[in-house]
Amino acid sequence: MKNLFFGLCALIFLMGVISTATGSPAVACGIGALSIVSAFIPKVQGVLLFSNISPDVSALSAYAGKFQKKIYRKFENSLDFFKDLNTYYNVKSATNLTKLAVNGEPRPFTGIFSPPSGDIVYSDQKLTVDKWQRDFQVMPDNYRGTYLEDLRGAGENANNMNFPSHVFDAVAETLAGNINDVVPWHGVGVDGFEAFNPATAYAVGAFVKYTVGDVLKYYEVKTLTIAGETPISAPDKFISGQVKAITEGLGTKLRKARTNGLIPNVASTGVITKADAYEQLLSVWYEAPEWVKIKGGTMRISYNVLELLLASFQDISKYTEKDGTLTYLPLTNKKCKLLPCSWITKSDMVTVSPDHNLLAATDLESDYRVIRTIPQMFHLDYSMTGVLGFGIQDFDVLSINDRN
């Protein structure tokens, strides 16, 4: 009470000085009122600020004796596509892919030298990469009062690097899972998202970009919308499309090329079931160019299609290796190598191609694990960034089915 009394006296004295100096009692009263109100603001802002920064520890018990500090989390796929595709490294923005076509052919002898036009032709295309980033924050003070507070090292400064090692591992693994399971097969890139139009009713599966605050965000429509509904006013009708916006994936490129008639070898399989999976996959192999079937090619499929293939045999053992794995599509003279891919998700598309033909590009794989730290006064900012892109070197050597 004594501090409050002296504080009010000091404020009244200050208001008198201001009133005398400005000649306006109204100004003095306004400043006095603002001073009283502002005394309560810092605590409110502090609570709001800290509660909005990770980690969210609301589900953790308060400290009550020694708990086993074992942290478990869901498993994620790794960046498997780098090893399943022909990967170009140290790509900063783009790299040129040059194709040489020899179109001339022999003819009956005439003794007259007559080279054909358009015989040796180079064509060019670019394998481009797009940049991605992943940002997150950690508030060390949020661990206080939970049984994980002992994970912090000594000291109360924000730049305490002992406690979040498990967070780093989880963020890096989740990043790899998000990218591996979405971007290679279903990525559409930022150009695949149209600017949001409030007068438009969007169909399921539409991709839109919408500015929230001053940040441009990417969304996929989950439920049919009506005009005027936005990702903010009708959040249940939209899902995040941020990951799909990173770059155009290989699956998207293949679907576009097939639609545009760029892939000449397409097998019509329809829905693949365990009753006909082997015959359907064999029909895609039959569509491959003759030289691919002679020299050998790789059939890339999803794990779901692999399971259907295995179920389609009454006795699979006579086709498997000693360790029980099915390495080649049966009855292809071990020329059709089977490669189930974790990054071909929610799809029964089947592709056959020489190993080197389907491409991925990045700068360094370590970019997907390196977390850069920016210490702040009370919290830590972290960021990761890298580049990623996909491409097809030669559509003519592909065979594919008509599924998405």
Q: Is residue 123 part of a domain?
A: yes
| Whether residues 179 and 210 fall in one domain | no
Q: Is residue 62 part of a domain?
A: no
| Whether residues 206 and 122 fall in one domain | no
Q: Is residue 112 part of a domain?
A: no
- Residue count of the chain, please give it: 404
In the chain, what are the helix, strand and coil shares in percent, each to the nearest 5? 30, 25, 45
Instruction: Locate all alpha helices (DSSP H) within 165-302, ordered by sequence.
Output: 165-186, 250-259, 277-286, 290-295
Structural domain boundaries, residue 320: 75-107+117-187+248-404
| Whether residues 267 and 375 fall in one domain | yes
Give the bridge partners for 336, in sequence order. Answer: 297
| Whether residues 287 and 235 fall in one domain | no
What lies within 8 Å, CB to CB, of 352 at 6+ separation is 284, 285, 287, 288, 292, 297, 298, 299, 336, 398, 399, 400
pLDDT tens-digit series, residues 102-137: 677 787 878 887 878 877 766 667 899 999 999 888
Side chain identity at 98, as an amino acid letter? T
| Whether residues 99 and 235 fall in one domain | no
Query: Does residue 384 contact residue 169 with C-beta atoms inside 8 Å?
Result: no
CATH value at residue 384: 3.90.1690
What is the sign of the dihedral through the CA atoms of 238, 240, 245 and 249? negative
Quickly list DSSP for 13-65: HHHHHHHHHHS-HHHHHHHHHHHHHHTTHHHHHHHHHHHTSS---TTSPBP-S
Residue 73 has pLDDT above 60, yes or no: no
| Whether residues 199 and 277 fall in one domain | no
Q: Can you tell me the mean pLDDT for 256-277? A: 94
Q: Is 106 left (phi over 0), alpha (psi -120 to 50) or beta?
A: beta
Q: Is residue 135 part of a domain?
A: yes
| Whether residues 375 and 329 fall in one domain | yes
| Whether residues 220 and 368 fall in one domain | no
| Whether residues 161 and 17 fall in one domain | no
Domain count, the chain: 3
Residue 75 has pLDDT above 80, yes or no: no
Q: Is residue 50 part of a domain?
A: no
Q: Is residue 51 part of a domain?
A: no
| Whether residues 326 and 378 fall in one domain | yes
Query: Does residue 76 contact residue 173 with C-beta atoms inside 8 Å?
Result: yes
Task: Give the mean pLDDT of the chain.
Answer: 81
| Whether residues 387 and 340 fall in one domain | yes
198 burial via Cβ count (<10 Å: 0-12, 13-18, 19+): exposed
Higher pLDDT, 226 or 151: 226
Q: Is residue 46 part of a domain?
A: no
CATH value at residue 203: 2.10.10
* pLDDT number for residue 60: 46
Higher pLDDT, 274 or 388: 388
> Which range has the worst mean pLDDT, 17-26, 39-48, 157-166, 355-364?
39-48
| Whether residues 166 and 218 fall in one domain | no
Highest-confidence segment of 125-134, 136-145, 165-174, 294-303: 294-303
Query: Does residue 396 contact residue 350 with C-beta atoms inside 8 Å?
Result: no
* pLDDT number for residue 168: 75
Q: Is residue 333 part of a domain?
A: yes
Residue 223 has pLDDT above 80, yes or no: yes
Q: Can you tell me the mean pLDDT for 163-181? A: 80
Query: The tokens of 236 are what?
Result: 């249940």
Q: Is 65 left (phi over 0), alpha (psi -120 to 50) or beta?
A: left
